[in-house]
């Protein structure tokens, strides 16, 4: 006999299942990097003099600041850990976010799988909303695993990061992933292919990093930090002087992009893109002489 089952939250559950393992794996990587930095600092810089020397050399260095962000309190485990991991994991998280959302949204649409999903008991916009909910849950998994490992590390007597501090640090580390999940959702509506969508989101990431870099390079244009999503994450300043209010622009930016993605999805055809795609052109035959050339061209 026929069995009625609810199909309303199917896309959300399907998305969670697709990305949960990846999110958990990267959460583990994030946590291990935090642990590695904290423990290595406490083992390498054992004395107060060594730590003060480190802080004096790198604490005010504009190059370090431009590449990795400001380095306050380098004489502490917390300060060093934040400097060592925050920018790196911010970039990794952003890349994970944009690749994950473009894979789930644009990639599945290119493969025709989105057509199958959307032919169920849902609408185009509702399906995208559910996918975003699934992506958000994946980001929560990323935060949870990162937080568990960070809090566990913080309980060590040589590290001493408080539980609230560890949770906040984990939140700061995954904030860029959340923003670029939403950015990838928008570019998936704008672009005609997954490659294009990821490319557009990567450009946004590059611009964000560039603006933040200029802001932190000691050129007197520190105000540019507020023009960059990565700058907002930097302003969170976990462990060294938390500014939780910096979560506001992060939250507003993410929510605005998510709403925009849903809006764009409801106003375009499945398989099409918001921005016009050139469907035909004269042949460009360069590099199409074999597998190697093809690989170069596609890359």
Partner 1 sequence: MTSEMSKPAIRTESLSKWYGKVPALAGLNLDVAPGEVVGYLGPNGAGKTTTIRLLLGLIRPTGGRAEIFGIDCQRQPAEAHRRVAYVPGEASLWPGLTGAETLHLLGRIHGRVDEAYRQELISRFELDPAKKIRAYSRGNRQKVLLIGALMTRADLLVLDEPTSGLDPLMEQAFRHCVIEAQERGQAVFLSSHVLSEVEALCDRLALLRAGRLAESGTMADLRQLSALTVQASFAGPVPDISRVPGVTSVTADSHSVRCQVQGSVAPLLEVLARAGATRLLSREPSLEELFLGLYGEHEQPRQVAAR
**Nearest 10 degrees: CA dihedral of 119, 123, 129, 131?**
0
34 Cβ partners below 8 Å, 6+ apart?
81, 85, 146, 149, 150, 153, 169, 173
Q: Minimal distance in Å, beta carbon 3 to partner 1? A: 6
Distance CA 105, CA 128 (A): 8
Give the binding range for partner 1 (CB under 8 A) out of 1-9, 96-104, 150-158, 207-215. 1-9
Distance CA 140, CA 146 (A): 10
Site string for partner 1, 126-145 (x = CB under 8 A): x-------------------
Give the binding range for partner 1 (CB under 8 A) out of 40-48, 195-203, 218-226, 266-274. 266-274
- Among 25, 29, 95, 118, contact with partner 1 (rule: CB under 8 A): 118
Question: Under rule CB under 8 A, how many of the chain's residues touch partner 1?
Answer: 27
Q: Which of residues 78-117 bind partner 1 (CB under 8 A)?
A: 111-113, 115-117
Q: Which is nearer to partner 1, 21 or 155 (CB)?
A: 21
Does residue 5 belong to the site contacting partner 1 (CB under 8 A)?
Answer: yes
Q: What angle do CA 167, 133, 260 make, to 5 degrees?
A: 110
Does residue 121 belong to the site contacting partner 1 (CB under 8 A)?
Answer: yes
Side-chain-side CA neighbours of residue 239 (13 Å): 33
- Among 63, 271, 294, 296, contact with partner 1 (rule: CB under 8 A): 271
Q: Which is nearer to partner 1, 124 or 263 (CB)?
A: 124
What does each C-alpha distance from 31 to 19, 83, 175, 203 come to in angstroms? 18, 15, 15, 27
Residues near partner 1, by CB under 8 A? 1-7, 10, 14, 111-113, 115-124, 126, 269-272
């Amino acid at each position: 006999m026929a069995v009625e089952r609810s199909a309303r939250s199917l896309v959300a559950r399907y998305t969670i299942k697709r990305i949960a393992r990846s999110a958990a794996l990267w959460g583990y990587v994030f946590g291990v990097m935090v642990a590695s930095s904290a423990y290595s600092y406490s083992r390498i810089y054992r004395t107060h003099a060594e730590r003060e020397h480190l802080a004096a050399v790198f604490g005010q260095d504009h190059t370090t600041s431009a590449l990795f962000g400001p380095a306050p309190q380098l004489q502490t485990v917390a300060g060093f850990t934040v400097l060592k991991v925050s920018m790196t994991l911010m970039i990794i998280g952003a890349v994970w976010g944009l690749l994950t959302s473009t894979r789930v949204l644009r990639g599945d649409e290119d493969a025709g799988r989105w057509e199958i999903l959307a032919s169920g008991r849902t609408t185009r916009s509702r399906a995208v909303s559910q996918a975003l909910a699934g992506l958000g849950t994946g980001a929560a998994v990323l935060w949870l695993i990162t937080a568990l490992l960070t809090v566990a590390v913080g309980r060590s007597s040589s590290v001493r990061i408080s539980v609230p501090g560890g949770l906040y640090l984990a939140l700061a580390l995954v904030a860029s992933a959340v923003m670029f999940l939403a950015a990838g959702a928008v570019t998936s509506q704008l672009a005609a292919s997954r490659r294009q969508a990821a490319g557009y989101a990567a450009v946004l990431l590059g611009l964000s990093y560039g603006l933040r870099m200029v802001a932190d390079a000691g050129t007197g244009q520190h105000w540019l930090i507020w023009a960059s999503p990565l700058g907002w994450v930097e302003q969170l300043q976990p462990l060294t002087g938390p500014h939780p209010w910096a979560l506001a622009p992060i939250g507003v930016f993410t929510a605005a992009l998510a709403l925009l993605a849903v809006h764009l999805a409801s106003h375009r055809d499945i398989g099409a893109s918001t921005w016009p795609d050139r469907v035909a052109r004269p042949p460009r035959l360069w590099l199409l002489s074999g597998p190697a050339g093809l690989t170069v061209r596609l890359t």
